[in-house]
Amino acid sequence: MIRRVGSAYTLAHRLDVAVALAAMLSSVVAGALIVANPMLAFAPIALLGGALLLTDGRARTLFVVFGGMLVLQRPGELDMSKLAFLAACAVAFAGALANLRNLRDTPVYEAARPLLAGSVAVMALAGISFGVAYSRITPLTEWLRDIAPYVLFASVPIFAVDAQASFGSRRLVQLLVAAGVLGVTAWAVEWLGRRGIAHFDVSRIAVASVFLPAALFAYGMASALHGRAKRVVWLVVAAAVLALLVSTGTRSTLTLVLIPFAIALIVRRERVNRTMRLLALGPLAAVLTLAVAVAVISVLGANTEQLNERLALVTVTANSEEDASYNDRVEQSRVAFDAFKAHPVLGTGPGTRFDWMTHDGRPLSDFVLDTPMTFPAKFGALGLLVLVFLVATYLAFARRLGRGRPPTVANLTLIGFLATVAALGFLAPPFEDKGLSFALILILALALAETSRPAAATPEPRPA
């Protein structure tokens, strides 16, 4: 026994010495790298971070979702921070893919099969698009900038399966709340400042995407209409999110009104109960939304004249004489449709710039257009076929979740969220919005977590 204790002590002592020597060696190497090239000093940190992303599913989820919201907020060229983030995402994807292989015999993997098939189709489309862009001599950096959101979207199911295996439902709800709060704050800061309604010390704090607030709004409404606890609390959360979005005077945010109707009506089981709650809570939600919006405008000292001008656009939508935004969208749609007619099979390829004139005669050129015709213009008829297949995979996944099980808050959240994604898809390709991927990772992870529980006992997640 004494020998065993002594040998264990000796082994522990040797490990301590090895760790100390490794730390000293790393310090010496880092110091030498700083002298030779300061940028190389980050190599040991990058190696440690890469090892963490390869081995820890929680780190992967937090890095991809919240790291992406912070790093990818800045528009413009691919800088070193974005390239480093994309490289780290590739490492995280490799770790998530390895974890996916370990889950092949689980109900979660079986439920996610349609989504994984859709991912393969989008990845294949991205690969084909590289050949198209190369044949048209599109700069590689332009193609990479344009295709990156599509590749991120294709990786969503892999990261979602990985996330549900790394977090419990309660923790996933907390992450969804955190991402939604950060997203709606970023949206309000950017659009209130850009439109001169309010002024802030910063112009951006994170990715300003409507999909992240929509995810939180969908979960709040699903909890209010179907959950068993804290219904009023979740109704207030949903109303606050909608109020912040509407206070920016952005018409597209009105599509979120579809979410509670989709949650109440689409799923047959317990439809009457949810519909009755919607009829009872709907007016209260409207009053809360209006009250929060007025409070936000008052606290920020917003320019009410500018806000009224934005809100007045709702009544002149599609009026060619007054709605300049609508006119610009029509012109962009015409340009994209012309590109699709010129290249109907494979499209022009991502990274191709479109040239158009604004309503006031200014020439603009970009590869991002405010029209759904951008997608067929870039990917052609092949892209439309992949899109139809992708929609079918998500519908098949939603049906699998509801097969033989009562509806849950997570499942209804997914249905409501997909309804607003479909509605916004008539305005612009949703895949080009990075916020869609971040929101879907958390929503799909919550929905997939339900499949690992017995059908007779699927408790709702109870966030702290």
The predicted-structure confidence for 106-153, as pLDDT tens digits, reads as follows 889 999 999 999 999 999 999 999 999 989 888 888 898 889 999 999
In the structure, what pLDDT confidence band is assigned to residue 7 with cuts at 50, 70 and 90?
very low
- Which three-class secondary structure string do you get for the chain? CHHHHHHHHHHHHHHHHHHHHHHHHHHHHHHHHHHHCHHHHHHHHHHHHHHHHHHCHHHHHHHHHHHHHHHCCCCCCCCHHHHHHHHHHHHHHHHHHHHHHHCCCCHHHHHHHHHHHHHHHHHHHHHHHHHHHHHCCCCHHHHHHHHHHHHHHHCHHHHHHHHHHHCCHHHHHHHHHHHHHHHHHHHHHHHHHHCCCCCCCCCCCCCCCCHHHHHHHHHHHHHHHHCCCCHHHHHHHHHHHHHHHHCCCCHHHHHHHHHHHHHHHCCCCCHHHHHHHHHHHHHHHHHHHHHHHHHHHHHHCCCHHHHHHHHHHHHHCCCCCCCHHHHHHHHHHHHHHHHHHHCCCCCCCCCCCEEEECCCCCEEEECCCCCCCHHHHHHHHHHHHHHHHHHHHHHHHHHHHHCCCCCCHHHHHHHHHHHHHHHHCCCCCHHHCHHHHHHHHHHHHHHHHHHCCCCCCCCCCCCC
Query: Per-residue pLDDT averaged across 6-25, rounded?
Result: 48
Domain definitions of the chain by residue range:
2-36, 57-73+81-451
In the structure, what pLDDT confidence band is assigned to residue 193 with cuts at 50, 70 and 90?
confident
pTM of the predicted structure, to 2 decimals: 0.85
Lowest mean pLDDT among 14-23, 191-200, 237-246, 370-379: 14-23
Task: Please report the pLDDT score of residue 456 as a whole number.
Answer: 47
Query: Per-residue pLDDT averaged across 238-249, rounded?
Result: 89
Query: Per-residue pLDDT averaged across 383-406, rounded?
Result: 90
In the structure, what pLDDT confidence band is assigned to residue 11 with cuts at 50, 70 and 90?
very low
